[in-house]
Structure 1
């Protein structure tokens, strides 16, 4: 039971930092926060993603490229130009690393206002830090796992961030339903998104790229959105006035 709780906690904490901080804040600037809170969420991302840490700057820029060039040859991760999900993940990794290490020239519009903390990125991205996280996960399993099959979950811990991205960038461009006609293959993967905290409403998001609530229909519950509203009420973030909070 301890292992299952640990796995679920890691899944949702890692996913929350990715959808809230990397996706909705770093890439889309759906709300603002001051530099203090920006650094707090930077640190939380490093802790919750652990061995699979994704730089908010690198992710934000790459995701902007995805929206600008969705399902074209310039898309960092399109199933249309990959043989399988693992091929797409490898291409995504290559482009992400090129962005992170400034190996490609980018239009300034893709970089504008993206959060940037070079010291944290440099520290969290080091291989010995990633390996150390992996060792901690493994030691936890050795201590508490009471069945051999539980160790099969360890690779998911190691690659949690990229796995979350692959679920949406592969499956949500192949399977699901659409609410809106868009210029790409984005679909809503799950009618009730208990698994991806709103991320699987991909068709909705591609239609309304700046909207903080990814759910549109009455049954499309975006689990991240109530947290955003809470943070806004507490003054941790500030919703932008042009973000239509009441659109249904």
Structure 2
């Protein structure tokens, strides 16, 4: 799928998104997987919304983290990039190992109005990921690059490796750094002190609260696939209640409300 320039984000929008990482309160970033979920979240007052690669992939019946959803990710950006709120896109590893191809994809996102991109290293070579980051910053200098390392997500959580990777990604031009899977407040605080770019962590219901993360100096808290998985959980809970002869409980938007999210 090839995107044609639609509406590159205004300089004010780019600055506004970057500024959210330096505000008094950390940026709480909910992650959507389609138009309805994104617009529903925007309706709750969130100034910025991210996408979740798992949600986008699962909704399309494709594997996550396998570079299989480039077209679906671009299609969602095409639908949402011109919305009045700020959109950051989870692009896995950029859907290619070629830095130039990753840069081309980032340029397409930028042309659609996207203000941020999340790029994960998947615990591959740090120099290759750094090359992708540098290529993206050259192709779309205003795009906020959130560089993710999977040392705690896929690896053994080695702090030396984590520090080294974050150093390499910041030197390559990353605007923010992301370490999902990290829930120990002492380690989080150490990373905040080490990194000169805003630190992003993944919220976990079993981990520190938003308040504790803020007190530790975290500047961005992503919800990742949590909302998508909770939505699936609500489906299973509702059908179990109905099967048992009971009315399902919980928040249920009306048909009209959902229809307006898609075609306001």
Regarding TM over 0.5, the answer is no
Normalising by the residue count of structure 2, what TM-score does the alignment of the two structures yield?
A: 0.29
Normalising by the residue count of structure 1, what TM-score does the alignment of the two structures yield?
A: 0.31
Structure with bigger helix share is 1
Comparing both chains, which one has the higher relative contact order based on Cα–Cα distances under 8 Å and sequence gaps of 6 or more? Answer: 1
Structure with bigger strand share is 2
